[in-house]
Amino acid sequence: MAKEMIGEALKAKAAPYLLPVIGTLVVVAAGAFWWLWNDRDRLLQKTAHQSQLLSQAANASRENLLAIGSLTAAIAWRDQKALERQDRLAKREHELAHVRAELEEAMKDAPDCVNQPWPDAVFDIMRRDTVLDPNRVRSGAGTSGLVAAPDGKN
């Protein structure tokens, strides 16, 4: 009974303070709810924007992968062509070395006149129908240093 009386006395003394406290708690809870709801909307907008950015990045990544694939194929094709070109050049160099060796061997067996100036008749044949001697006019010694034949034919 004493406890009941004490509880009733506390209720009677606390009743005038209890209503403003409950009212304040309701206002604070409503403010917190409003703030959280607005924060939720802001976060949803931010999430939508980041989802759009992520989608754009995924598309750009796909395009980049396709470009990388085509560039890799182009590089492989160019590498193949470079190897083929190197093989052709090596083959030509080998053939050139072979021909040079044949020529050097032929020069060893050739008579001594190989290193002498050519007669004018050879130069006439070489100059025939060229711009270097359009009129076919000759006077005196030819380019070989030999005297021209008296009849103009060598």
For the entire predicted model, the pTM comes to: 0.42
Q: Is the pLDDT of residue 43 over 70?
A: yes
145/58: higher pLDDT: 58
Mean pLDDT score, 3-10: 80
Which pLDDT score is estimated for 11?
77
48/140: higher pLDDT: 48
Residues of the chain with pLDDT > 90, as a percent, come to: 46
Which pLDDT score is estimated for 140?
45
Q: Is the pLDDT of residue 142 over 90?
A: no
Q: Is the pLDDT of residue 150 over 90?
A: no
Mean pLDDT score, 55-75: 97
What DSSP letter does each residue of the chain carry, written as one string? -HHHHHHHHHHHHHHHHHHHHHHHHHHHHHHHHHHHHHHHHHHHHHHHHHHHHHHHHHHHHHHHHHHHHHHHHHHHHHHHHHHHHHHHHHHHHHHHHHHHHHHHHHHHHS-GGGGSPPPHHHHHHHHTTSTTSTT----SS-TTSSPPPTTS--
